[in-house]
C-alpha cells in the first residue's frame, strides 16, 4: 500500500478525490471560459461526458436568455476582478432540461499573480428550491388567508401580551391600524372594569397553563364603543416546549347575541300568547256557561217577584238575589272582556278629555291620600275604542294603584302619540297609536308578579278584596280594540301601566241609535215564538218570560228539532242560542233564511265575536237578559220585518 501511494503523484490523488464527488460539478475553465477539466459529478449533473465537455464554452450551460444578456461573461469578469463570484439561476443540461443551480466561480492565479483560469463548482438545488418555493407559497397563501379574513381578528401576542402582528379583520373589528397597535398591550381591548379585575393577565395565565383560553365577554374598540366578543387564546411553543407567545382569535358576536336574545324574547312572547289564548278560551267557556245560569236565575227571580204577594221582607230577599246575580253578570262580563268576546261599542274617543272628566270621580274613589295629576299634551288624536269600557279600565288601573300605595302617593295620568315602524322590539304592528299611561308611586312588583299580573283571577290582595280580573279586563279591552296593555314595574319604584290604542284614522262618527221600543210597545200583539236552546234551564226561563208577556212559545232543544217544528207550524219569530252542538245558531239561521225568509231571527249569545261566515248581521240578545231586554229585541225585530214589507 505504501509503494502504491508513493507511486501516485499529488495530481493523481486530487483527480481521484474530484471524481469521487458526484453531488457537485467541479471543473476548470480557461481564462476565456473554455472547459479544461471535468469531474464525474459534472457529467452526472450536466449530462456531458468528459470528452464532450472539454474545450466547450461553459456558456453553453446557460439559458438562451442569460446568454443573450451576457451573464456568462459578467460572471467571469466579476470573478477575475474580485477573485470570486457566486450566483443562483437556471442552467441547461445536455438533454435540454433545466435545473436550478448554485454556481461559484473562483479565479485561479499563478505564483506571479497572473490569471491562469477559473475553478467552477456547481450544485443542483432544484429540489431545495422547489421545497423553499412550496414553503414560500404556503406562507404566502397563509398570509393571504389571514389577511383575507375580515370577520375574525387574528393576531399574535408576545409572552408578555404585546401585539406582534395584526390582520385586516382585527383592524375592522377593533378599529386600530397595524402601526397603531403593534408593540402595545392587548389589555387595552378590555373594559376598564375587566382590566381592574386583572382579566387580561388571567386569560394569558390560563392559556399558558392549560394551552387554551376561551370566553365570551365585552371588549372595547378604538372609538370607545363596546362589542360582545368570542375570544380564543392558544399558547404557541417551540419543539422544546418553550413559550414563544400566543395566537389570539376574536370574533364580534354582538349581532348573533342580539339575534339569540330576540329569538328567546319571541319564544317567550309566543309562549305568553299561547298561554293567554288558552286561558282566554277557558274563561270564555266558563263565562258562557255562567251566563246561561245567570239568565235562568235573573229571569226566574223577575217572574217570581211579579207573582208573589206583597211582602217587603220577601221583596228585599229577592232584590238581594237579583243584585247578586247582576254582580255575577258583571264578573262574566269581565271574563268575556279578557277573552276578547265582549261586545264593544267602538267609536272615536278623545282619551285626554275622557280621563280628565274622570278625575273628580277618581279622587272620591281613591281618597285624599292619593294626589291625582293629569298631564296631556295638546292636539292628541282620538283613538278607536269603547269609551265606557275605557272609563272602566282607567278606574280599574287607578284602584290598583291606590291599593299599591297604602300610605298614599301620587297617581299621574298622561298620554302621548307613538308611531311604530315595525322594529323587532315594537309591541304592536306598524301604525299610529296613543299610549295612555297611568303611573303610580307605589310599592311596585317583582318580576314574577309582573309576569302574572294580567292573568285572570291572579291577585296579590287579600281574600275577598279582589277578583283578580281588573287588569285582565283592561288587557281584554286593549287587545279587542287593536292595541295592547303593557306593564313596567320594579319593587319600590312604582308601576307604569300603558294602554296602547290605535289612532282613529278618519273614523266616521257613529250615528246615535234610534230610540228603543218601550216595554209596552213590545207587547202590542201576541206572537208565536220558536225558542231554541240546548240548555234546559235557559229554555224554560225564556219560555216562561215570553208566555208572561202573552206570547205563545214553541220550544226546541236543537237546530234539527227547530227545523222540524218550523215545517209543522208557522211562527212569527225565532230566538235561538248560538253555541249548540251539531248545528249552531248561525247555521240554523242560514237554513231559516233560505227556507222561511220572512221569519225574523234573534241570536242569543254572550260572545262578541262569531265564527267566520256566521250570522253577524242578525240582532243579538246578550246573555244574561231580563224580560225587558227580551221584550225590546222582539219589538225591534218585528218592527224591522214589518218595515221591510
Is the four-CA dihedral 321, 325, 327, 331 of positive or negative sign? positive
Count of domains observed in the chain: 4
C-alpha cell at 418: 307613538
DSSP summary character for residue 280: H
Query: Among candidates 400, 408, 413, which has minimal Cα distance to 473?
Result: 400
Do 536 and 475 lie in a common domain?
Answer: no
**In terms of residue numbers, what domain contains 417?**
347-502
Tens digits of residue pLDDT in 237-260: 988 889 999 999 999 998 888 877
* Euclidean distance between CA atoms 114 and 80, whole angstroms: 10
Beta partners for residue 332, in sequence order? none
* Euclidean distance between CA atoms 287 and 14, whole angstroms: 119
Task: Note the pLDDT of residue 148.
Answer: 58
Which CATH number characterizes residue 100's domain?
Answer: 3.30.450.20
* Euclidean distance between CA atoms 151 and 75, whole angstroms: 51
Place of cell 243584585: 323
Determine the number of helices (DSSP H) and then strands (DSSP E) in the chain.
Answer: 22, 20
Do 357 and 395 lie in a common domain?
Answer: yes
Tens digits of residue pLDDT in 441-470: 988 888 777 766 665 545 554 433 444 455
Do 444 and 372 lie in a common domain?
Answer: yes
Average pLDDT of the chain, as a whole number: 81
Coil vs helix vs strand at 40: helix
Output phi, psi for 254, to 5 deg: -60, -50
Give, for 143, the enclosing helix (H) or strand (E). helix 126-148
Do 618 and 528 lie in a common domain?
Answer: yes
Q: What is the CA radius of gyration of the chain?
A: 50
Among 84, 102, 130, which residue terminates a domain? 130
Which CATH number characterizes residue 558's domain?
Answer: 3.40.50.2300
Query: pLDDT under 70 in the chain at which residues?
Result: 1-22, 135-150, 266, 268-288, 327, 329-345, 423-427, 451-470, 472, 506-524, 606-616, 640-645
Coil vs helix vs strand at 105: strand
Among 193, 228, 252, which residue terminates a domain? 252
Domain membership of residue 339 (yes or no) is no
Beta partners for residue 604, in sequence order? 577, 621
Domain membership of residue 477 (yes or no) is yes
Among 103, 130, 157, which residue terminates a domain? 130
pTM score: 0.41
Amino acid at each position: 500500500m505504501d509503494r502504491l501511494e508513493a507511486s501516485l503523484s499529488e495530481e493523481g490523488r486530487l483527480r481521484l478525490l474530484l471524481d469521487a464527488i458526484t453531488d457537485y460539478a467541479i471543473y476548470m475553465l480557461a481564462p476565456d471560459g473554455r472547459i479544461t477539466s471535468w469531474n464525474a459529478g459534472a457529467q452526472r449533473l450536466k449530462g456531458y461526458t468528459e470528452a464532450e465537455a472539454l474545450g466547450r464554452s461553459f456558456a453553453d450551460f446557460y439559458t438562451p436568455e442569460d446568454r443573450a444578456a451576457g451573464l456568462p461573461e459578467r460572471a467571469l469578469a466579476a470573478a477575475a476582478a474580485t477573485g470570486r463570484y457566486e450566483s443562483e439561476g437556471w442552467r441547461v443540461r445536455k438533454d435540454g432540461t433545466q435545473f436550478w443551480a448554485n454556481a461559484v466561480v473562483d479565479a485561479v492565479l499563478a505564483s506571479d499573480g497572473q490569471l491562469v483560469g477559473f475553478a467552477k463548482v456547481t450544485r443542483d438545488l432544484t429540489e431545495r428550491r422547489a421545497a423553499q418555493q412550496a414553503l414560500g407559497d404556503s406562507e404566502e397563501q397563509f398570509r393571504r388567508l389571514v389577511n383575507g379574513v375580515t370577520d375574525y381578528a387574528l393576531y399574535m401576542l408576545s409572552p408578555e401580551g404585546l401585539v406582534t402582528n395584526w390582520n385586516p379583520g382585527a383592524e375592522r373589528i377593533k378599529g386600530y391600524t397595524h402601526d397603531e397597535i403593534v408593540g402595545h398591550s392587548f389589555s387595552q381591548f378590555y373594559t376598564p372594569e375587566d382590566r381592574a379585575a386583572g382579566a387580561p393577565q388571567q386569560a394569558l395565565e390560563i392559556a399558558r397553563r392549560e394551552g387554551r383560553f376561551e370566553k365570551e365577554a365585552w371588549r372595547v374598540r378604538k372609538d370607545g364603543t363596546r362589542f360582545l366578543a368570542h375570544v380564543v387564546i392558544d399558547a404557541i411553543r417551540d419543539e422544546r416546549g418553550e413559550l414563544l407567545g400566543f395566537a389570539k382569535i376574536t370574533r364580534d358576536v354582538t349581532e348573533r347575541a342580539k339575534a339569540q336574545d330576540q329569538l328567546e324574547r319571541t319564544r317567550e312572547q309566543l309562549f305568553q300568547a299561547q298561554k293567554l289564548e288558552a286561558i282566554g278560551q277557558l274563561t270564555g267557556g266558563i263565562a258562557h256557561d255562567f251566563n246561561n245560569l245567570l239568565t235562568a236565575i235573573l229571569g226566574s227571580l223577575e217572574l217570581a217577584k211579579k207573582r208573589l204577594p206583597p211582602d217587603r221582607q220577601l221583596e228585599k230577599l229577592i232584590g238581594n238575589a237579583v243584585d247578586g246575580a247582576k254582580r255575577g253578570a258583571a264578573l262574566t262580563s269581565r271574563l268575556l272582556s279578557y277573552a276578547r268576546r265582549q261586545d264593544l261599542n267602538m267609536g272615536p274617543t278623545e282619551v285626554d278629555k275622557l280621563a280628565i272628566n274622570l278625575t273628580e270621580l277618581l279622587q272620591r274613589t281613591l281618597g285624599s291620600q292619593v294626589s291625582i295629576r293629569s298631564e296631556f299634551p295638546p292636539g292628541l288624536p282620538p283613538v278607536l275604542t269603547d269609551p265606557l269600557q275605557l272609563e272602566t279600565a282607567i278606574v280599574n288601573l287607578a284602584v290598583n294603584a291606590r291599593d299599591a300605595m297604602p300610605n298614599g302617593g301620587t297617581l299621574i295620568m298622561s298620554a302621548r302619540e307613538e308611531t311604530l315602524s315595525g322594529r323587532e322590539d315594537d309591541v304592536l304592528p306598524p301604525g299610529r297609536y296613543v299610549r295612555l299611561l297611568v303611573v303610580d308611586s307605589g310599592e311596585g312588583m317583582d318580576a314574577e308578579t309582573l309576569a302574572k299580573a294580567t292573568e285572570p283571577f291572579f291577585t296579590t290582595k287579600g281574600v275577598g278584596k279582589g277578583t283578580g280580573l281588573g287588569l285582565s279586563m283592561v288587557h281584554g279591552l286593549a287587545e279587542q280594540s287593536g292595541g295592547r296593555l303593557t306593564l313596567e314595574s320594579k319593587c319600590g319604584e312604582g308601576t307604569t301601566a300603558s294602554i296602547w290604542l290605535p289612532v282613529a284614522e278618519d273614523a266616521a262618527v257613529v250615528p246615535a241609535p234610534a230610540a228603543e221600543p218601550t216595554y209596552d210597545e213590545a207587547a202590542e200583539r201576541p206572537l208565536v215564538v220558536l225558542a231554541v236552546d240546548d240548555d234546559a234551564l235557559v229554555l224554560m226561563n225564556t219560555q216562561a218570560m215570553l208566555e208572561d208577556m202573552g206570547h205563545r212559545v214553541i220550544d226546541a232543544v236543537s237546530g234539527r228539532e227547530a227545523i222540524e217544528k218550523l215545517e209543522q207550524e208557522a211562527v212569527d219569530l225565532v230566538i235561538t242560542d248560538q253555541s249548540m252542538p251539531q248545528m249552531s245558531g248561525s247555521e240554523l239561521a242560514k237554513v231559516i233564511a233560505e227556507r222561511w225568509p220572512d221569519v225574523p231571527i234573534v241570536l242569543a249569545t254572550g260572545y262578541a265575536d262569531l265564527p267566520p261566515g256566521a250570522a253577524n248581521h242578525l240582532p243579538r240578545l246578550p246573555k244574561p237578559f231580563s224580560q225587558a231586554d227580551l221584550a225590546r229585541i222582539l219589538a225591534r225585530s218585528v218592527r224591522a220585518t214589518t218595515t221591510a214589507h
